[in-house]
Amino acid sequence: MPFVDVCGRRIEYERIEVAPTGRPTLVFLHEGLGSLAMWREFPGRVAHATGCNALVYSRYGYGNSEALHGDRTVRYMHDEALVALPALLDLLAVHWPILVGHSDGGSIALIHAGGTQRPVAGLVLMAPHVMVEEVSVTSIAAAKVAYETTDLPARLARYHADADSTFWGWNRIWLDPAFRDWNIEAYLPAIACPVLAIQGEDDEYGTMEQLRRIGRGVRDAELVALADCRHSPHKDQPEAVLDAITRFVDRITSRSTA
């Protein structure tokens, strides 16, 4: 994969080119333990289904991007959304993105759209967080035990150059008592673009209250609840998610050409 220097950090990325210029670019923002490679074939499927080019990357501390130095802070998603992501989009000349975010990536998309004045065509959010719930903390505490007692480190090492720093950077900040007050609902009313928010009804990291709050706070939000679906809707219900995203992108692009 090629690399680009973003805010002094070496970041891996991939472009998927399927369409002429003029349509929005899908920008994929992975989950808290995700990476470019962990999306697997999903970005390509979405790009071809929607006729939009795509940009996929691993954030600082993930995948083959530069390894994390030190601990993350409570504002780590804010730093990504307000500083690193704008810098990346400028460097790679992405001017009208549809941000496709999973979990942490969905939260980053919300902060970016509500906290900057940059043009955003739309947001696709899968299992996003707007506040911390007890179920999230309980599951993240269980992940700590799994990392210490199972083969989870070896499995994560397939996708991250430094799996230890990736895991502990995510796990420690979410379990830090200071993180309990993390909340990004104040950004929601400023989001001007359409939003598609998808939540699994069996999500082990969040409840449907996350979507309800997005629905109350965002002026143009389509909310989709999926049965028999846990924290990764694009893996548990790929066809339903692909269909919802395709219809959503069609709605955005038809508005822009009307």
> Are residues 45 and 53 in contact, defined by beta-carbon separation less than 8 angstroms?
no
Burial letters 215-242, b for 16+ CB under 10 A, else e:
eebbeebbbbebeebbbbbbbbbeebbb
User: Across residues 217-242, what is the average pLDDT?
Assistant: 98
Q: What is the pLDDT of residues 84-110, one digit of tens each?
A: 999 999 999 999 999 999 999 999 999
Q: What is the pLDDT of residue 20?
A: 78
Q: What is the pLDDT of residues 23-79, one digit of tens each?
A: 999 999 999 999 999 999 999 999 999 999 999 999 999 999 999 999 999 999 999
Mean pLDDT of the chain: 96
User: Across residues 214-242, what is the average pLDDT?
Assistant: 98
| Rounded Cα gap, residues 89 and 70, in angstroms | 25
The structure tokens listed for 204 are 């082990």
Of 234, 238, 210, nearest in space to 100 by CA: 234
Q: What is the pLDDT of residue 258?
A: 47
Please tell me whether the overall predicted TM-score, pTM, comes out greater than 0.95 for this model: yes
End-to-end CA distance of the chain: 37
